[in-house]
């Protein structure tokens, strides 16, 4: 076990537990998460905005799939709730359709791969209706992924009372 003094994890989750294994990152990754795209950030906080890093709006966004088939309610055609980013490094695959296996792939998608289509949400469009691309540098993409990884609580995932509902 490391002998360095414990540190709190970064982000709103940092007060939930103490750790000696995750160093506090420099502030630039946090700024990338919180800063709007026009100011050089990732704009992630636009959708993942509470302490649980979810959208506080009880509404949903339209991704073209939705929960309609599960509940058979036409009002929910295409409905999708923004997921929490807590423990995001443990929850692959990512996106509503599981198309990405790594956080690096997700960040690259938002960085350069967002394509225009009828179900693209307004949060991913600029003022002219075009898809927003982040245009982050390689270092900024790495920093953003590393920030997302600090939202992971490895201990809770290994605790049987949380990781195995049958015990």
> What pTM does this model have?
0.67
Residue 119 lies in a domain: yes
pLDDT at residue 128 tops 90: yes
Q: How many CA atoms lie within 13 A of 139 on its CB side?
A: 2
Residue 156 or 5, more confident: 156
Residue 131 lies in a domain: yes
Residue 104 lies in a domain: yes
Q: Looking at 6-161, which runs of residues are DSSP E strands?
A: 7-8, 18-19, 61-66, 77-80
Residue 126 lies in a domain: yes
Residue 75 lies in a domain: no
Q: Which residues contact 116 (CB under 8 A, 6 or more apart)?
A: 130, 131
Range of the domain at 100: 16-46+84-163
Residue-level pLDDT at 80? 65
CB 131 within 8 A of CB 111: no
pLDDT at residue 95 tops 80: yes
Residue 34 or 126, more confident: 126
Residue 59 lies in a domain: no
Q: How many domains does the chain have?
A: 1
**pLDDT of 33-82, one tens digit each?**
777 787 787 878 777 775 544 444 544 454 555 556 667 777 766 666 67
């Amino acid at each position: 076990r490391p002998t360095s003094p414990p540190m709190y994890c970064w982000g709103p989750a940092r007060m939930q537990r103490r750790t000696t294994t995750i160093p506090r990152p420099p502030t630039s990754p946090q700024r990338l998460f919180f800063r709007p795209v026009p100011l050089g950030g990732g704009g992630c906080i636009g959708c993942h905005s509470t302490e649980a890093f979810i959208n506080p709006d009880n509404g949903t966004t339209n991704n073209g799939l939705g929960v309609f088939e599960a509940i058979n309610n036409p009002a929910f055609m295409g409905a999708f709730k923004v997921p929490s980013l807590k423990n995001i490094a443990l929850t692959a695959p990512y996106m509503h359709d599981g198309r990405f296996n790594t956080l690096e792939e997700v960040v690259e998608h938002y960085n350069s791969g967002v394509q225009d289509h009828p179900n693209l949400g307004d949060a991913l469009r600029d003022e002219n209706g075009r898809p927003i691309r982040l245009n982050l540098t390689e270092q900024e993409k790495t920093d953003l992924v590393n920030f997302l990884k600090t939202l992971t609580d490895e201990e809770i995932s290994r605790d049987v009372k949380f990781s195995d509902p049958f015990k």
